[in-house]
Amino acid sequence: MKYIAEQNGTILEALQYMAPGSSKTTLRSWLKEGRIALDGRTVKHPSAPIASGQLLTLGAKIRSSQLDILYQDRHLVAIDKPKGLLSVATHYQKQKTAHSLLKEQHKPLAVYPVHRLDRETSGVMIFALTEEARDGLKILFEQHDITRQYEAIVEGHLPTDQGQWTSHLFEDKNYHVHSTLDPKQGKRAVTHFDVIEKMAHTSRICLTLETGRKNQIRVHCQQAGHPVLGDKKYGPGQIPCKRLCLHATLLELKHPITGKRLSLRSPAPF
């Protein structure tokens, strides 16, 4: 639910305009739960000011119990992140995140993020619970000594059933990632793809990251002329879809502490 303020006032007053059928008790509970964002930043005080033209949004109700734990020991925890949930807080967005929910669930222990998934991307995501594990995982990610596979539905049919996309990616001041062949302009990005199934107007593909740059898969699919279904940022495509059809299906790695081989999987929900 979204609402653009038509006049100056308080957050509570604006919420009454946004949801006239809800009681003040309900509106205050939304604030307390951290579900209300003002221009992307979480706000919890009903008397906080809001100016005309500012955007007020109501986020989904997400509780720690809704995080599906795929694996956990004293060093690591892996989850099946739902779509629409931020991985970690950003400078501009302080709403509920997978990181904050895990911190609530594991109090008083620390929880360390070591990688991210885009907000609308779902699937396997891992966090460290000790500094030793955090440092070990960072090395694995930096050295690309980890298998990261995704499944996506893209528009059209790829010219080959297997291949790879290689380019250099850079982010502009508006946080939009671009692809270039000039190594001086960006960081090298390599994505391997395999076609799983061809439908009438779309293809289901498996994508394996050789590098893990921001928005890498979405940008490479767009550049290849086969945008991911539901990608509003790097589309827009011709086929409507209610969600971004991109899911992290596999994270395979050597446990940074025990040396045990972990294969963390989540089937695509689309």
pLDDT value for 64? 46
**64-146 and 149-248 share one fold:** yes
204 pairs with which residues across the strands? Answer: 153, 197
Q: How far apart are CA 128 and CA 256, in angstroms?
A: 10
Q: Which of 38-42, 86-90, 200-204 has the highest mean pLDDT?
A: 200-204
Query: What is the CATH code of the structural domain delimited by 64-146?
Result: 3.30.2350.10
| Least confident stretch, 20-24, 145-149, 242-246, 256-260 | 20-24
Q: How far apart are CA 251 and CA 93, in angstroms?
A: 27
Query: What is the CATH code of the structural domain delimited by 149-248?
Result: 3.30.2350.10
User: Active-site residues: which are they?
Assistant: 118
- The C-alpha torsion from 174 through 247 and 141 to 260, rounded to 10°, is 160
What are the extents of the domains in the chain? 2-58, 64-146, 149-248
Give yes or no for a contact between 153 and 270, defined as CB atoms under 8 angstroms apart: yes
pLDDT value for 62? 53
Q: Which of these CATH numbers, 3.40.47.10, 3.40.50.300, 3.10.290.10, 1.10.1580.10, describes 2-58?
A: 3.10.290.10
Mean pLDDT of 141-165: 96
| Average pLDDT score, the chain | 91
- pLDDT tens profile 112-135: 999 999 999 999 999 999 999 999
pTM: 0.75
- pLDDT tens profile 53-77: 999 998 866 554 568 899 999 999 9
Rounded to 10°, the helix 11-18/24-32 angle is 120
